[in-house]
Amino acid sequence: MKVFTRREEGQKIPFPYGFAWRRYDRDELVLLPIPFNIIAGTLRLWCFFLLKGVRDRELDKAFAAGEDRGYEAGRKSAALYEIGKHDGIREEKHRWEKAARSKP
């Protein structure tokens, strides 16, 4: 019996094996015999958080800052659009009134 088994998504899992973790880079599941899959999956997750940490990373901060700048730019653009729309309506109304006054 093999210790590690890898299956692509949609394939049937063999009987004595259980899900341990997912490899996103290869789009496959890593399977281990049933009591070991929980232990190995938990240890892998614990090591990941131990090495990487759970606090905000610089990339997450940069992503959030970019998202905020995009939101503000969208608000300014929408505000300018609304101002332009009102100015356009005002100019159109003024033009129609001027045309109506000039007709005999």
pLDDT tens profile 15-63: 888 888 888 777 788 888 889 989 998 998 888 878 776 666 677 788 8
Q: 91 with 64, same domain?
A: yes
Q: 91 with 65, same domain?
A: yes
Q: 60 with 101, same domain?
A: yes
Domain span at 20: 5-52
Helices (H), the chain: 34-52, 58-102
Encoded tokens for 16: 């004595």
What does the pLDDT average to over 74-103?
A: 69
Q: At residue 53, what are phi and psi to the nearest 5 degrees?
A: 85, 160
Q: 74 with 100, same domain?
A: yes
- Confidence check: pLDDT of 1 > 50: no
